[in-house]
Amino acid sequence: MIFTSERTGDDDGYGDTSAIMMELASQEEGYLGMESARNTEGQGITVSYWRSLDDLRRRKANTEHLLAQRAGREKWYTRYKVRIAQVQREYGMNDA
Amino acid sequence: MIFTSERTGDDDGYGDTSAIMMELASQEEGYLGMESARNTEGQGITVSYWRSLDDLRRRKANTEHLLAQRAGREKWYTRYKVRIAQVQREYGMNDA
């Protein structure tokens, strides 16, 4: 799953919720890993890897539940986009 | 295409080559867009979007050619990984 976003200036509850979401993800069935980067202009990309689309769907339901309990994405992001994509091939250098 | 990487401290030729690569990509057939973020620890993610795998393959050949002419990735990155993934679905908020 590719999550691209632009942050608002509002940090209220963000770091906390973000940490909980990463913790929950890492405990979920089918979770393979996550990579995240945000530059100084507030543009961010988080990619999380899952074994199957079913695992990702379950994860999505749990995420929405947590966000509904808290302020939700509208408070922290001016815009965001979620892309569900299936990895076809991978290669690299010095990668774990 | 998802490109995740970690930079070396070596900037020699990097900004220049990076700009050329982005410019070339934007002119290529099937190019849909690009998003990039790098955090202060040097962890970076660039996602580029292409109409088809064939468009991406042509792009790859041109990229490798340019990198072979210049110092190449080994100089600028301590590690990197390329993932070719097919977008299945997308949704979001306030996205262009």
Joined together, the tokens standing for residue A39 give 């530059």
Interstrand relation of B43-50 and B31-38 (parallel, antiparallel or unpaired): antiparallel
Name every chain B residue with its beta carbon within 8 A of the beta carbon of A86.
85-86, 88
For chain B, give the percent of residues with pLDDT over 70: 99
Rounded to an integer, what distance in angstroms lies between the CA atom of residue B13 and that of residue A17? 40
Backbone angles phi, psi at A70, to 5 degrees: -105, -170
Q: Look over chain B and give the mean of its residue pLDDT values, rounded to a whole number.
A: 89
Instruction: Nearest by CB to B90, from A47, A74, A82: name it.
Output: A82
Instruction: State the ipTM, two decimals.
Output: 0.84
What is the per-residue pLDDT across A41-95, written as a single tens digit (0 to 9) for each?
889 999 999 999 999 988 888 888 787 777 778 888 999 999 999 999 999 988 7
Q: Is B13 helix (H, G, I), strand (E, B) or coil?
A: coil
Whether B19 has its CB under 8 Å from any CB of chain A: the answer is: no
Whether B53 has its CB under 8 Å from any CB of chain A: the answer is: yes
What is the per-residue pLDDT across B80-96, written as a single tens digit (0 to 9) for each?
999 999 999 999 988 76
In sign, the C-alpha dihedral spanning B64, A90, A96, B8 is positive
Whether A27 has its CB under 8 Å from any CB of chain B: the answer is: no
CB B56 within 8 A of CB A58: no
Residues facing A81 on adjacent strands? A4, B92
Contact A92 B81 (CB under 8 A): yes
Rounded to an integer, what distance in angstroms lies between the CA atom of residue B82 and that of residue B61? 14
